[in-house]
Structure 1
Amino acid sequence: MVEILACGFLVVDIVVADIDRIANPGETIFVHRGIEISIGGHPANVAIDLVKLGIRPDIIGVSGAVGNDMFGDFIERTLRSYGLNVFLQRVNMSTNKNVILVVRGEDRRFHVEIGASRMYAPSLVKKLIERERPRIFYLASGILDQVDNKIEEIFRTAKEHGAITFADVVKPYGKGWDYIIPAMEYIDIFHCNDKEAVNIAHTESLEEAIDFIIERGVKLLLITMGGRGAIGASKCVRIMQKAFKVRVIDPTGAGDGFCAGIIYKLMEMKIRNLDKLIAMKEELVRMILYAQAVGAMACTAPGTTSGVTKRRVEELIGDQGKELLMSTTIREWN
Structure 2
Amino acid sequence: MTAKKAALTIVDVTLRDGSHAMKHAFTEEQIRDTARGLDEAGVPYFEVSHGDGLGGSSLQYGFSAIDELKLIAAAKEVCQQAKISVLLLPGIGVKEDLEAAVTAGAEMVRVATHVTEADVSKQHIELGRKLGLKTVGFLMMAHMAPTAKLVEQAKLFEEYGAEIVYAVDSAGALLPYEVTEKIGALRQSLSIEIGFHGHNNLSLALANTLAAIDAGASYIDGSLRCLGAGSGNTQTEVMAAVLDRLGYETGVDLYKIMDVANNVVAPYMPRPQEITGGSLILGYSGVYSSFLLHAGAAAKRFQVDERDILIELGRRKAVGGQEDLIMEVAAEIARS
* TM-score between both structures, scaled by the size of structure 2: 0.39
More helix by share: 2
More strand by share: 1
* TM-score between both structures, scaled by the size of structure 1: 0.39
